[in-house]
Amino acid sequence: MLTVDFARFPLAHGDRVLDLGCGAGRHAFECYRRGADVVALDRDRDELRQVAGWFAALREAGEAPPDAHATTVEGDALALPFPDDSFDAVIAAEILEHIPDDARALAEAVRVLRPGGRIAVTVPRHGPERVCWALSDAYHEVEGGHVRIYRGDELVRRLRAAGLVPYGTHHAHALHSPYWWLKCAVGVDNDTSLPVRAYHRMLVWDITRRPLATRLAEDLLNPLLGKSLVVYATKPRHAAGRPEEPERPDASGEPGRDAA
């Protein structure tokens, strides 16, 4: 299940991409399939071991171009183990809400991104996330849990303050918002609730089968109920003067569009 829209975040064959806080690796795998040279970074050694296994499986199955490369790195988002200007693209999907010093994490992401490169940042959307917090303290008051809720315009301002030029936004995963509201209402650790189990089966069916009906429904509902906010930005080629626009601008609209 991808949150980043690669039509708005195009990769060229051979681009070096950092998946920052890769988790289970969903975006890293897609970048690898598209021919990028991928570095999947996370603090969780066990997850990185699984991601490395999937990289090997994709390679063996021929699902990635033979000249593409993929590797895992155990590291900290606040002190990335890479030189300046190391990557053509950076993905930071659903990690900033976990980091108390998010400004420092953004500064590190910008540091390792080459001038002219692109970054995609995704966070839980303000409205659906507020409902989860109101229904359940256990949803976010856990070790490594969410420490803040972003408003869309606030996130765009933070990206600008980090020296980036936002060029488009959208929302994703509207069908997942009610699922998490149900989970929070009955208990986030309650896996026996019939409504939660039924909704989870529907989501698995939707993810694996991708029927047209649910794709259309989610597209219609994303502006209202999308669980995630995605912001795309570029790093200017020059530190001074007017920032350059992205080379291949996003067709979704102006920076900050739908950033609720």
In three state form, how does the secondary structure of 34-97 look? CCCEEEEEECCHHHHHHHHHHHHHHHHCCCCCCCCCEEEEECECCECCCCCCCEEEEEEECCHH
Question: Does 114 map to a domain?
Answer: yes
Question: Does 10 map to a domain?
Answer: no
Q: How far, in Å, CA of 114 to CA of 153, rounded?
A: 25
Per the prediction, the chain carries an average pLDDT of: 92
Question: Does 120 map to a domain?
Answer: yes
Tell me: pLDDT of 49 over 80.
Answer: yes
Spell out a b/e string for 101-128, using b for 16 or more CB atoms within 10 Å of the CB, else e.
ebeebbebbbbbbbeebbbbbbbbbbbb
Q: What angle do CA 206, 17, 149 make, to 5 degrees?
A: 60
Question: Does 16 map to a domain?
Answer: no
Q: How far, in Å, CA of 100 to CA of 146, rounded?
A: 9
Question: Does 58 map to a domain?
Answer: no
CA 220 to chain centroid, in Å, comes to 21
Q: How does residue 188 score in pLDDT terms, banded at 50, 70 and 90?
A: very high
- pLDDT, tens only, 56-81: 999 999 999 999 999 999 999 999 99
Range of the domain at 123: 76-234
Question: Does 224 map to a domain?
Answer: yes
Question: Does 115 map to a domain?
Answer: yes
Average pLDDT over residues 229-255: 63
Count of domains observed in the chain: 1
Average pLDDT over residues 150-162: 97
CA 258 to chain centroid, in Å, comes to 17
Q: How does residue 259 score in pLDDT terms, banded at 50, 70 and 90?
A: low
What strands lie across the sheet with 87-93, from one edge to the other?
70-74, 37-42, 16-20, 87-93, 113-124, 228-234, 165-172
The domain that contains 152 carries what CATH number? 3.40.50.150
Q: How far, in Å, CA of 103 to CA of 101, rounded?
A: 5
What per-residue confidence (pLDDT) applies to 238?
Answer: 76
- What contacts 21, CB < 8 A, 6 or more positions away? 41, 42, 43, 77, 92, 93, 94, 95, 98
Q: How far, in Å, CA of 109 to CA of 90, rounded?
A: 7
Question: Does 86 map to a domain?
Answer: yes
- pLDDT, tens only, 110-119: 999 999 999 9
